[in-house]
């Protein structure tokens, strides 16, 4: 058999191309070129120190590196300010053009918006949710700061070729069911360690009904199954999204017919209702109607998972002309400056404020228990973020319930876990957009 003609998955094809190989096999160790690298205010200082310790003097390409001050910035304390200072000074010294200061946004929303992560590429980020960019058809994955330091110096990394799990979504979405619900449901079936160091490849006719924003949400949470990366084969919608933003040329790739998968899982989206992940893990997933009307203290709409304009539109459509329950604190954080500005122009932020919610400058903030909404002892939060492990958003005795913006907003109004259909009729389109 001519192995160069062996059908390959999209992930295998990207690795082969970046290793100058006609084909690769799962399990092989490869040295590959990296197209783009990213670090944030938590991980960049560690990478900078390692970069200096190995004697590196210049990053491999200052136009292919992004530094984003997103997690603890705007600075919540002196230590946070120092993280930002170290990162900023390195960026200036290295001539890194893609430096994003406080309030510019969360990297996993910002980089796709800016056209910095593109189909067919390999993207490394010193952050576990770098897998988000796979929605655009690239192999993007999170690495440790030391690994990133090597990439910053050389433009390369080592990679074990992952096996792939094909997740096929068929059927028609029910009202109020979004990309967040699909990935939560999949996590409930696959488990938090069910895809360890494997690729989750998303496919199927039902995904054609999903916006690029919803696909980014799904790829974002691939790592919650332990996956090396999550990825979509780019289609016309993907290319439309990328072509109007791309800052460099790119070559999209797709899986070959007959490519081999370690496992194949099919989901009928017509049988999926709005979902909620109960603590203490993202795979503890149940339909919202089976979770019970648990009282909630906090609601958070934002994060790299669901802080895009589409998400804010959904949440605003539910709280409009209503009030946040008096026993609930609702925090809304647009995930980038562009999202904030668009939401401001559309009047979405005014809707949130008039309903009694707090609106913040773009930041990761409460998602990682950082600031702008940390949970106290015994508090229960419905969050549109991606993790609900013990202590993730604050006190170890607090509880986080993961859900879509629609479920989160409905819960903020009702004061308890709530199906959005209990408050308002289903929207015109299946993604919940107003």
DSSP letter for 136, please.
G
Q: Are residues 142 and 73 in the same domain?
A: yes
Any domain includes 391: yes
Across the range 308-314, mean pLDDT stands at: 98
Any domain includes 260: yes
* CB 128 within 8 Å of CB 223: yes
- Give the separation between CA 413 and CA 409, rounded to whole angstroms: 7
Q: Are residues 380 and 338 in the same domain?
A: yes
* CB 59 within 8 Å of CB 153: yes
- Give the separation between CA 291 and CA 63, rounded to whole angstroms: 47
Query: Residue 224: which of 297, 128, 83 has the closest Cα?
Result: 128
Computed over every residue of the chain, the mean pLDDT equals: 95
pLDDT per position as a tens digit, 168-220: 999 999 999 999 999 999 999 999 999 999 999 999 999 998 999 999 999 99
Q: Last residue of a domain, which of 160, 186, 209?
A: 160
pLDDT value of position 424: 81
pLDDT per position as a tens digit, 248-293: 999 999 999 999 999 999 999 999 999 999 999 999 999 999 998 9
Any domain includes 324: yes
Q: Are residues 42 and 152 in the same domain?
A: yes
pLDDT per position as a tens digit, 47-93: 999 999 999 999 999 999 999 999 998 898 999 999 999 999 999 99
Q: Are residues 40 and 137 in the same domain?
A: yes
Tell me which residue range forms the domain holding 366.
Answer: 277-422
Q: Last residue of a domain, which of 251, 270, 289?
A: 270
Q: Are residues 156 and 169 in the same domain?
A: no
Residue ranges with strand state E in 19-70: 29-33, 36-40, 65-68
0.85 surpassed by pTM: yes
- Give the separation between CA 230 and CA 360, rounded to whole angstroms: 29
Q: Are residues 59 and 179 in the same domain?
A: no
| CATH code for position 187 | 3.40.1060.10
Any domain includes 427: no
| CATH code for position 147 | 3.30.499.10
Q: Are residues 281 and 395 in the same domain?
A: yes
Any domain includes 118: yes
pLDDT value of position 433: 41
DSSP letter for 323, please.
-
Domain count, the chain: 3
Separation in Å, CA 278 to CA 283, 286, 382, 397, 401: 8, 8, 9, 14, 5
pLDDT per position as a tens digit, 344-370: 999 999 999 999 999 999 999 898 888
Q: Are residues 66 and 121 in the same domain?
A: yes
Task: Report cis status (omega within 30 of 0) of the bond before 74.
Answer: yes
Q: What is the largest CA-CA distance in the chain?
A: 69
DSSP letter for 304, please.
H
Q: Are residues 333 and 201 in the same domain?
A: no
Q: Are residues 176 and 150 in the same domain?
A: no
Any domain includes 17: no
**Per-residue pLDDT for 389 more than 80?**
yes
User: Residues in the chain, how many?
Assistant: 434
Burial 95-115, CB ≥16 within 10 A → b, else e: ebebbbbbbbbbbbbbbbbbb
Q: Last residue of a domain, which of 114, 145, 160?
A: 160
**Per-residue pLDDT for 244 more than 90?**
yes
Q: pLDDT category, 427, cuts 50, 70, 90?
A: low
**Per-residue pLDDT for 414 more than 90?**
yes
- Give the separation between CA 45 and CA 47, rounded to whole angstroms: 5
Q: pLDDT category, 431, cuts 50, 70, 90?
A: very low
User: Which residue matches tokens 């973020």?
Assistant: 385
Q: Are residues 260 and 281 in the same domain?
A: no
User: Which residue matches tokens 């040295």?
Assistant: 31
* CB 406 within 8 Å of CB 418: no
Pair of tokens at residue 208: 């054609």
- Give the separation between CA 339 and CA 365, rounded to whole angstroms: 16
* CB 199 within 8 Å of CB 229: yes
Any domain includes 3: no
Q: Are residues 181 and 131 in the same domain?
A: no
Any domain includes 306: yes
């Amino acid at each position: 058999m001519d192995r160069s003609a062996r059908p390959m998955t999209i992930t295998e094809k990207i690795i082969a191309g970046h290793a100058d190989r006609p084909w690769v096999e799962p399990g092989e160790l490869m040295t590959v070129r990296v197209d783009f690298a990213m670090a944030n205010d938590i991980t960049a200082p560690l990478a900078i120190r390692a970069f200096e310790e190995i004697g590196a003097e210049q990053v491999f390409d200052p136009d292919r590196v992004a530094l984003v001050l997103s997690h603890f910035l705007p600075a919540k304390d002196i230590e946070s300010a120092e993280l930002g200072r170290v990162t900023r000074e390195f960026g200036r010294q290295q001539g890194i053009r893609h430096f994003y200061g406080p309030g510019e946004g969360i990297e996993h929303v910002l980089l796709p918006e800016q056209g910095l992560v593109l189909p067919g590429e390999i993207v490394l980020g010193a952050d576990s949710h770098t897998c988000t960019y796979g929605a655009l058809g690239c192999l993007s994955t999170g690495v440790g700061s030391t690994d990133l330091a090597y990439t910053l110096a050389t433009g390369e990394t080592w990679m074990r070729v992952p096996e792939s799990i094909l997740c096929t979504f068929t059927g028609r979405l029910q009202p109020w069911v979004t990309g967040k619900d699909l990935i939560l449901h999949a996590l409930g079936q696959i488990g938090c360690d069910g895809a360890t160091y494997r690729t989750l490849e998303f496919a199927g006719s039902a995904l054609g009904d999903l916006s690029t924003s919803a696909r980014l949400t799904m790829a974002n949470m691939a790592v919650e199954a332990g996956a090396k990366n999550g990825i979509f084969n780019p289609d016309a919608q993907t290319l439309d999204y990328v072509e109007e933003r791309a800052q460099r040329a790119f070559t999209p790739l797709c899986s070959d017919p007959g490519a081999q998968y370690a496992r194949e899982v099919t989901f009928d989206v017509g049988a999926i209702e709005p979902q909620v992940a109960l603590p203490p893990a993202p795979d503890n997933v149940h339909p919202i109607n089976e979770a019970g009307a648990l009282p909630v203290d906090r609601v958070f709409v934002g994060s790299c998972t669901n802080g895009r304009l589409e998400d804010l539109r959904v949440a605003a459509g539910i709280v409009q002309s209503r009030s946040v329950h008096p026993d609930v604190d609702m925090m809304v954080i647009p995930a980038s400056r562009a999202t904030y500005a668009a939401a401001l122009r559309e009047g979405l932020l005014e809707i949130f404020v008039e309903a009694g919610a707090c609106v913040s400058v773009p930041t990761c903030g409460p998602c990682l228990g950082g600031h702008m909404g940390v949970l106290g002892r015994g508090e229960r939060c419905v969050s549109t973020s991606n993790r609900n492990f013990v202590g993730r958003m604050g006190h170890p005795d607090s509880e986080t319930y993961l859900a879509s913006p629609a479920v989160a907003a409905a819960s903020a109004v009702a004061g308890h876990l709530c199906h959005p259909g209990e408050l308002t009729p289903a929207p015109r389109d299946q993604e919940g957009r107003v």
